[in-house]
Amino acid sequence: MRCLVTSARPYDQQFLSAANNGRHELVFTETTLNAETAFIAQGYPALCPFVDDTLDAKTLEIIARLGTKLLVLRSTGFNHVDIPAAEKQDITVMRVRDYSPCAVAEYAVGLMLTLNRHLHKAYNRVRDGNFLLDGLLGFDMHGKTVGIVGTGKIGAALARILHGMGCHLLAYDITPNPDCQELGVAYVSLEELLTKSRIVSLHLPLLPETRHLMNAERFALMPNGAMLINTSRGPLIDTTALIAALKSRHLGAVGLDVYEEEADLYFKDHCDDIICDDSFERLLTFPNVIITGHQAFFTSEALTTIARTTIQNLDDYSDGKDNPNCVRSKG
């Protein structure tokens, strides 16, 4: 099948070409897909977008007119696609349902440990010849209460790691995960989890009902000095309320791999640009905030699985086979 891979970076080309092995005609472009750039879909029955592409109703209407019938997403999350609008345009949407949840869970632990033990500061200090320990005091993770919000594949992988570190685990999810219950994870209300957890890690999908899940009222429930980690989706957090909770010194540390307005920034080099997002720039000024550019998924194992599943999705669609990776608005 002829497929245009949008927002493509060199690593996408490397892993997808290896998985494809010449079966489909893959064309790679760095262009990010949105209503303004949708004309690039001309001549491609399939598109392979990433999370920074915007597949809203307008873009979908244009690409449908240009002949696109299939979207094979290189991601688990599909909040960047208007699924009812895709159905209206008769465009099939497939995703990578499951790829190395450990990659994201391990990264979340990395953020926790970096913030807790101030590794980001220690790295620079030692390079400057400063071996003072003042300001680098951390706490044992062992015995601390960590709240996991969302215990699907990634949240459950995180629970397994933190269980091994001797943490006391609380969780909130509309559907409790029996694997987590077996580990001894206690399911509680979101309010109880926020009140009792020293560290909170977010692993819910972005849905209308989870947008700004973390707002001023919920930050106020967290203990003074608590740590918040978000490796899920930026809009789960109300950024304005987050900045207020940091300025008042209520939150003790924040690790963000995702950011509410990341679409205009992430996956591109802005070294020589003036970044006009004042909230993002304000977040960067806090010594107790670490921000990374949506890289939690970025391991060779994850990229291999994403590429293989994407090619399998193209194969199944071409062969008219049923595929569990189809995304539908109902079920």
Query: Which positions are catalytic?
Result: 233, 262, 294
187's tokens: 């399911």
Choice from 17, 35, 83, 152 touching ligand NAD (CB under 6 A): 152
- Collapsing DSSP to helix, strand or coil, 151 comes out as coil
Over its C-alpha atoms, the chain yields an Rg (Å, rounded) of 21
For residues 62 and 171, what is the distance between their CA atoms, to the nearest angstrom? Answer: 42
Q: Which two tokens mark 185?
A: 């994870």
For the bound state, the minimum distance from the C-beta of residue 290 to ligand NAD, rounded and expressed in Å, comes to 14
Residue 123 CA to residue 151 CA, distance in Å, equals 33
35's CB contacts (< 8 A; 6+ apart) are: 54, 56, 58, 59, 62
155 binds ligand NAD (CB under 6 A): yes
Helix, strand or coil for residue 157? Answer: helix
Are 146 and 197 within 8 A, CB to CB?
A: yes
The amino acid that residue 182 corresponds to is E
Q: Which residues in the 284-313 window bind ligand NAD by CB under 6 A?
A: 294, 296-297
From candidates 116, 151, 201, 310, binder to ligand NAD by CB under 6 A: 151
In the complex with ligand NAD, which residue's Cβ is closer, 4 or 171?
171
Q: Which of residues 261-280 bind ligand NAD (CB under 6 A)?
A: none
For residue 95, how many other CB atoms are within 10 A of its CB?
A: 21
Q: Which is nearer to ligand NAD, 42 or 329 (CB)?
A: 329
Residue with the CB atom nearest ligand NAD in the bound state: 152
Q: At what angle do helices 10-20 and 300-318 cross, to 10 degrees?
A: 50
Residue 209 in the binding site for ligand NAD (CB under 6 A) = yes
Among 233, 262, 280, 283, binds ligand NAD (CB under 6 A): 233
- Give yes or no for residue 150 binding ligand NAD (CB under 6 A): yes
Interface pick for ligand NAD out of 6, 210, 309, 313 (rule CB under 6 A): 210
User: Residue 71 in contact with residue 314, Cβ under 8 Å?
Assistant: no
Q: Which is nearer to ligand NAD, 64 or 157 (CB)?
A: 157
Among 175, 178, 182, 319, binds ligand NAD (CB under 6 A): 175
- Among 8, 73, 85, 104, which residue sits at the site for ligand NAD (rule: CB under 6 A)? 104
Q: How far apart are CA 32 and CA 181, in angstroms?
A: 41
The DSSP symbol for 185 reads P
137 in contact with ligand NAD (CB under 6 A): no
Residues 71-90 within binding reach of ligand NAD (CB under 6 A): 76-77
| Local structure of 37: helix, strand or coil | coil
Using CB under 6 A as the binding rule, the residues of this chain from 189 to 208 that contact ligand NAD are 203-207
Contact residues for ligand NAD, defined by CB under 6 A: 76-77, 101, 104, 150-155, 173-175, 203-207, 209-210, 231-233, 257-258, 294, 296-297
